[in-house]
Amino acid sequence: MRFSPFVERIAGHGVAAWDIHHAAFEAQRESQDVIILSIGDPDFATPEFITDAAISALRGGDTHYADIPGRPRLRQAIAARCAAKFGRDVEARNVIAVAGAQNALFMASLCLLQAGDEVVVLDPMYVTYEATLRASGATVVRAACDADSGFRLNAQNLTGAITGRTRAIFLSNPNNPTGVVLDREELQIIADLAIAHDLWVVVDEVYESLCYEPEHVSLASLPGMEQRCVAVGSLSKSHAMTGWRIGWLVADPELIGHAENLALSMLYGLPGFVMEGALAAVLAHDEVTRGMRDIYRGRRDLVAERLSDCPGIAVLKPDAGMFVLVDVRGTGLSSLDFAWRLFRETGVSVLDAAAFGEPAQGFVRLSFTLSDEQLAEACERIVWFVRKLVERQCR
């Protein structure tokens, strides 16, 4: 039977990047001794008061169709938090609650892009972006952020990537996999280009509450962004709620209306009890995220410290998020070979960061979503593996 070309467009290179993770997951299911550092799923339980809110909604019979763009109180709570962050008015009509940031990105892609358009992304980018953006029929153009600069914005590359066909810039800030947080000056460059070329800017801020040193500035807070910036967020990372599938898109009400039509035709809205849990979570945002951020910061420092004196590798300490990039070029292996051999010889699974984009070739991505003990053990195995490789090289 024949499928539409759409199915090809959503089967990107990024999908294969997860092979190692699936292999590790399978090995773990068979009780093998593996340490999975290949995914960013928080190891914390969702805070109990959030789960309680959902359970109580379920028990109260909240099991029917719910408002397609999200319950008014939830949209209002998200809007209030965004208003404080953006430093301007944000109303419930600027917000649609959707099934996670991934769903929001997909909606933005379908509502803003079409075949023949170009969409510029900062490279490296989160693996699902390629398929998400290509689903619209648009061509993805990558503006490299090079390893030599610590993967920071390269204004020249970004400017050079924009053509008469460009319709939008998509980026995640903080970035996954690099952990870079763009500063106000870098964001201003993006905003200026968007205004000059009349582009949409879609900024994925799922890691905004996991910024360690620098303060996170939302692109949506910059002058002139009110009409053209689409901010994407979710509770997956900030509140350890990946499995709840709840996030949002904040934009001009006209776009929210189009997204609502898409939600109607694809999802028919979110489960009411999930929205009740989400409401409790959004209202307690700072209390929940402060504690988690401190723990992640400690883990980041632990991994950076344990891997720092190992010859052959270098750690890029992230400003935000739950991942560390490790430069493995000194081991003589490609990052893909490194990841597979490390997994086969030590049971530690990491991702080849090149799957996120060519600039990250030679780097692997480790998540720090495990306990200090497990991370220390993983680092020990990595150091053992790398030392063995480097010694062999020296012989």
Residues 230, 203: contact at Cβ < 8 Å? yes
Point out the residue whose Cβ comes nearest to ligand PLP: 100
Residue of 166, 172, 218, 349 that binds ligand PLP (CB under 6 A): 172
Asked if 289 touches ligand PLP (CB under 6 A), the answer is: no
Based on CB atoms, which residue is closest to ligand PLP, 126 or 340?
126
Cα distance between residue 318 and residue 245, in whole Å: 26
* C-alpha–C-alpha distance, residues 281 and 97, integer Å: 13
How crowded is residue 243: how many other Cβ atoms within 10 Å of its Cβ?
10
Residue 240 or 313: which CB sits closer to ligand PLP?
240
Task: Copy the structure tokens of residue 302.
Answer: 């632990």
Provide, rounded to whole angstroms, the least separation between the CB of residue 167 and ligand PLP. Answer: 20
Tell me the two tokens of residue 4.
């539409």
Number of residues that bind ligand PLP (CB under 6 A): 13
Is beta strand 95-98 parallel, antiparallel or unpaired with respect to 166-172?
unpaired
Site string for ligand PLP, 301-330 (x = CB under 6 A): ------------------------------
Provide the minimum distance between the beta carbon of 321 and ligand PLP in the complex, in angstroms, as a whole number.
Answer: 8
Q: Does residue 176 belong to the site contacting ligand PLP (CB under 6 A)?
A: yes
* Dist CA 255 CA 308 (whole Å): 46
Measured from the CB of residue 33, what is the shortest distance to ligand PLP in angstroms? Answer: 26
Q: Is residue 346 at the binding interface for ligand PLP, with CB under 6 A as the rule?
A: no
Residue 269 lies near ligand PLP (rule: CB under 6 A): no
SS3 label, residue 91: coil
Indicate the angle between helix axes 372-394 and 285-308, nearest 10 degrees: 30
Q: How far is the CB of 60 from ligand PLP (least distance, A)?
A: 26
Closest distance of CB 131 from ligand PLP, Å = 13
247 sits near ligand PLP (criterion: CB under 6 A):
yes
Q: Residue 129 has which token pair? A: 């972006």
Taking contact as CB under 6 A, which single stretch among the options 135-143, 234-242, 294-302, 353-361 is the one that binds ligand PLP?
234-242
- Helical (H) or strand (E) element with 325: strand 323-327
| Span 70-109, contacts to ligand PLP by CB under 6 A | 100-102
Residue from 36, 42, 57, 126 in contact with ligand PLP (CB under 6 A)? 126
Residue closer to ligand PLP (CB basis): 206 or 274: 206
Helices (H) and strands (E) in the chain, counts: 14, 13
CA-based nearest residue to 8, from 109, 135, 140, 119 = 135
- Residues 6+ away with beta carbon under 8 Å from 374: 35
Residues 6+ apart with CB under 8 A from 274: 54, 244, 245, 246
Cβ at position 388, least distance to ligand PLP in Å: 31
Beta partners for residue 233, in sequence order? 248
- Shortest CA distance to 91 belongs to which of 79, 74, 78? 79
Specify the residue, 132 or 166, whose C-beta has the smaller distance to ligand PLP. Answer: 132
Other beta carbons within 10 angstroms of residue 41's beta carbon come to 13
Residue 10: CB minimum distance to ligand PLP, A = 16
Strand partners, 122: 143
Q: Residues 186-225: x/- map of binding to ligand PLP (CB under 6 A)?
A: ------------------x-x-------------------
**Residue 340 CB, nearest approach to ligand PLP (Å):** 22
Instruction: Decide if 227 contacts 195 (C-beta within 8 A).
Output: no
* Options 136, 236, 346, 369; binder of ligand PLP; rule CB under 6 A: 236
Map residues 20-49 to x or -, x wherever contact with ligand PLP holds by CB under 6 A.
--------------------x---------
Interacting residue ranges for ligand PLP, rule: CB under 6 A: 40, 100-102, 126, 172, 176, 204, 206, 234, 236, 242, 247
